[in-house]
Amino acid sequence: MSMKIYLKIVMLFVVVTSSNAQLKKLEDIRVRDPYIFADEKSKTYFLYVQTGNRLVDNDTIKGVEVYKSKDLKMWSGPTTVFAAPKEHWGKRMIWAPEMHHYKGKYYLFVTFTGDEMQIKSNNKPKQYQRGTQILVSDSPLGIFKSFRNQSTTPVDWMSLDGTLWVENKKPYMIFCHEWAQIQDGTMELIQLKKDLSGTVGKPKSLFHATDAKWVKSLSSTGFKYHGYVTDGGFMYRTKTGKLLMIWSSFGDKGYSLGQAISETGSIKGPWKQIDKLIFEENGGHGMIFKTFEGKLMITLHQPNNGENERTKLYELIDNLDYLELSKLVN
């Protein structure tokens, strides 16, 4: 073998090895509140995560990044899609990024936490500026930019986990009013402007955490404070046109993923809680998507503590008026 051919083989080995070294399995990526966007145009899956999953130093970047995959098994990245500027109101904590494609633009719904509020209470945790803010970009890879330097949800509320739903050509955000402020957390609905740059009217409460029989107080889990959690709402229309919402709270076995059904088929409800949980083994904050082959999937994180959170992917069964897990695929 000539030296020239030998060197080419060595270089090829280095390139392939380096490329494979950059790829990760989901078990290698710490993720809370995983969100997967299946981009039909590029046949690519995008996994959006907060940088705080892997960067814990206060001096490192505060923002959102994305991993990419063609098969949901091996992931490249991450690539930063949003870095909070120095003057951003909510750099203390960044949670639960969701990315939605709407009318030719890409919108990132992100929960930010800012400074501590002046309101104090002995029987409540610290009160912070917290809310979901909508960011916009021309690409799923960003860079995403703010419409203004404040939350899209009410600025005097502790809110989180906003998601997008469109009904009768009107965009809405479903979000959570946090238990830390009101004790019995709620799921809220507010209409958005056509370009998602702001809100129209006032929020409407859809249901309370305690409307679900399975929900337990945080204090029953060993937490210092009493309160009932609403987390991570996500909408799904079944094969027969029923409108379901998946959402998370704490049950007998810890963090869990429940479901509710709209009795009218409208986002405005009224909403009836379904007794059957989707997942109850210390994991939750789910979202639903379809693979490019048409399989219905749900993603959630598990466990819910110990900095060991990982994305779990399951095939999902549409039972017409409720959802049920099928097999774990990762």
Q: Is pLDDT larger for residue 205 or for residue 14?
A: 205
Helical H runs in the chain? 3-22, 179-182
Report the pLDDT value the prediction gives residue 60, as an integer from 0 to 100.
Answer: 73
Report the pLDDT value the prediction gives residue 2, as an integer from 0 to 100.
Answer: 52
Look over the chain and give the mean of its residue pLDDT values, rounded to a whole number.
Answer: 92
Spatial distance between the Cα atoms of 235 and 260, rounded to a whole number of angstroms: 10
Specify the range with the lowest mean pLDDT, choosing from 112-121, 256-265, 319-328.
Answer: 112-121
Specify the range with the lowest mean pLDDT, choosing from 37-46, 56-65, 286-295.
Answer: 56-65
Spatial distance between the Cα atoms of 182 and 157, rounded to a whole number of angstroms: 9
Summarize the confidence of residues 22-29 as an average pLDDT. Answer: 95
Q: Is 145's pLDDT higher than 70?
A: yes
Q: How far is CA 42 from CA 37, 47, 213, 291, in A?
A: 11, 14, 43, 13
Contacts of residue 275, Cβ cutoff 8 Å, sequence gap at least 6: 213, 214
Spatial distance between the Cα atoms of 167 and 214, rounded to a whole number of angstroms: 29
Q: Is 20's pLDDT higher than 60?
A: no
Report the pLDDT value the prediction gives residue 56, as an integer from 0 to 100.
Answer: 64
Q: Is 57's pLDDT higher than 80?
A: no
Report the pLDDT value the prediction gives residue 306, as an integer from 0 to 100.
Answer: 76
- What are 184-230's pLDDT values in tens digits? 999 999 999 999 999 999 999 999 999 999 999 999 988 899 999 99
Q: Is 61's pLDDT higher than 70?
A: yes
- What are 149-183's pLDDT values in tens digits? 999 999 999 999 999 999 999 999 999 999 999 99
- Could you tell me the residue ranges of all domains in the chain? 31-328
Spatial distance between the Cα atoms of 254 and 217, rounded to a whole number of angstroms: 10
Contacts of residue 255, Cβ cutoff 8 Å, sequence gap at least 6: 248, 249, 282, 283, 284, 304
Report the pLDDT value the prediction gives residue 4, as an integer from 0 to 100.
Answer: 52
Summarize the confidence of residues 24-44 as an average pLDDT. Answer: 97
Report the pLDDT value the prediction gives residue 126, as an integer from 0 to 100.
Answer: 87
- What are 238-251's pLDDT values in tens digits? 999 999 999 999 99
When computed from its CA atoms, the radius of gyration of the chain, rounded to whole angstroms, is: 21
CB 172 within 8 A of CB 199: no
Q: Is 274's pLDDT higher than 60?
A: yes
Q: Is 9's pLDDT higher than 70?
A: no
Please state the CATH superfamily assignment of the domain spanning residues 31-328 in this structure.
Glycosyl hydrolase domain; family 43 (2.115.10.20)
For the record, the structure tokens of 108 come out as 């990132």
Q: Is 295's pLDDT higher than 60?
A: yes
Contacts of residue 123, Cβ cutoff 8 Å, sequence gap at least 6: 225, 226
Report the pLDDT value the prediction gives residue 15, as an integer from 0 to 100.
Answer: 35
Spatial distance between the Cα atoms of 83 and 25, rounded to a whole number of angstroms: 25
Q: Is pLDDT larger for residue 51 or for residue 259?
A: 259
Q: Which amino acid is at 243?
A: L
Specify the range with the lowest mean pLDDT, choosing from 7-16, 125-134, 311-320.
Answer: 7-16
Spatial distance between the Cα atoms of 276 and 280, rounded to a whole number of angstroms: 10
Summarize the confidence of residues 274-279 as an average pLDDT. Answer: 98
Spatial distance between the Cα atoms of 313 and 321, rounded to a whole number of angstroms: 21
For 28-31, the CB contacts below 8 A with 24+ separation are: 29/53, 29/54, 29/67, 29/75, 29/310, 29/311, 30/54, 30/307, 30/308, 30/309, 30/310, 31/301, 31/309, 31/310, 31/311
| Confidence bin at 13 (pLDDT 50/70/90) | very low
- The count of other CB atoms within 10 Å of the CB of residue 76 is 15
